[in-house]
Amino acid sequence: MAENIRTVEHATCTFCGCVCDDMNLTVDLDKHCITKAENACVLGKAWFAEHTIENRPAATIDGREVGVDEAVEEAARILVNARFPIIYGLSDTTCEAQREALAIGDLIHGTIDTTTSVCHGPSGIAFQGVGESTMTLGEVKNRADLVIFWGGNPGEAHPRLFSRYAVTTKGMYIPNGKKDRYIVSVDVRRTQSTPVANLFIQVKPGADFELLWALRALVRGRRLDPSVEERTGVKLDTMKQLVERMKTCRYGVLFFGMGLTMTRGRHFNSGALLALATDLNEFTHFVAKPVRGHGNVTGADNVVSWTTGYPFGVNLSRGYPRFNPGEFTTVDTLSRGDADAALIIASDPAANFPKAAIEHLHRIPVIALDPKATETGKLARVAFCTATYGINVGGTVYRMDDVPITLRPAFESPYPSDQEVLTAIKNRVRELLNKKAKPKEARKAA
Amino acid sequence: MAETMLLVAGRTSKQGTSLSAGKLKEEYLGVTSTVEMNADDMTRMGLKDGDAVRLRTSVGETVVQCKGRKATDLPAGMLFIAYGPPSSQLMGSDTAGSGMPLSKNFTVQVERAA
| pLDDT one-digit tens code per residue, A348-375 | 999 999 999 999 999 999 999 999 999 9
Q: How much is the average pLDDT of A216-237?
A: 97
Q: Across the interface, do A293 and B11 touch by the CB < 8 Å criterion?
A: yes
Give the separation between CA A126 and CA A141, rounded to whole angstroms. Answer: 26
Bridge partners (DSSP) listed for residue B66: B35
Give the separation between CA A180 and CA A166, rounded to whole angstroms. Answer: 11
Minimal C-alpha gap between B46 and chain A (Å): 23
Nearest C-alpha in B relative to A333? B99
Tell me if chain B has a CB within 8 Å of the CB of A351: yes
How many separate domains does chain B show? 1
pLDDT at residue number A278: 97
The pLDDT tens digits for A35-75 are 999 999 999 999 999 999 999 999 999 999 999 999 999 99
Over 90: is that where the pLDDT of A428 sits? yes
Q: Go through the domains of chain A in sequence order and give each one's CATH number.
A: 5-48 (no CATH), 54-118+295-445 (3.40.50.740), 121-290 (3.40.228.10)
Tell me if chain B has a CB within 8 Å of the CB of A331: yes
Q: Across the interface, do A261 and B100 touch by the CB < 8 Å criterion?
A: yes
The residue among B15, B20, B62 with the most chain A CBs within 10 A of its CB, best to mutate, is B20
**What CATH number has the domain bearing residue B10?**
2.40.40.20
Nearest Cα to A431, choosing from A443, A420, A423, A442? A423
Distance from CA of residue A271 to its chain's centroid? 19
Give the separation between CA A294 and CA A286, rounded to whole angstroms. Answer: 25
**Range list of H helices, A199-329:** 208-219, 227-232, 236-248, 258-261, 267-280, 297-308
Nearest C-alpha in A relative to B79? A189
Backbone φ and ψ for A117, nearest 5 degrees, come out as: -65, -25
Cβ atoms of A445 and A416 closer than 8 Å: no
Q: Across the interface, do A355 and B60 touch by the CB < 8 Å criterion?
A: yes
DSSP A287-304: EEEE---BTTHHHHHHHH
| DSSP-derived secondary structure letter, A166 | I
The residue type at A434 = N
The pLDDT tens digits for B37-60 are 999 999 999 999 999 999 999 999
Q: Which of residues 23-82 of A touch B (CB under 8 A)?
A: 42-43, 45-47, 49-51
pLDDT-derived band at A446 (thresholds 50, 70, 90) equals low
pLDDT-derived band at A2 (thresholds 50, 70, 90) equals low
Give the separation between CA A17 and CA A82, rounded to whole angstroms. Answer: 34
Nearest Cα to A343, choosing from A418, A430, A231, A259? A418
Q: Across the interface, do A189 and B78 touch by the CB < 8 Å criterion?
A: yes
Minimal C-alpha gap between B110 and chain A (Å): 18
Whether ipTM tops 0.85, in short, is: yes
Structural domain of B32: 3-112
pLDDT at residue number A1: 53
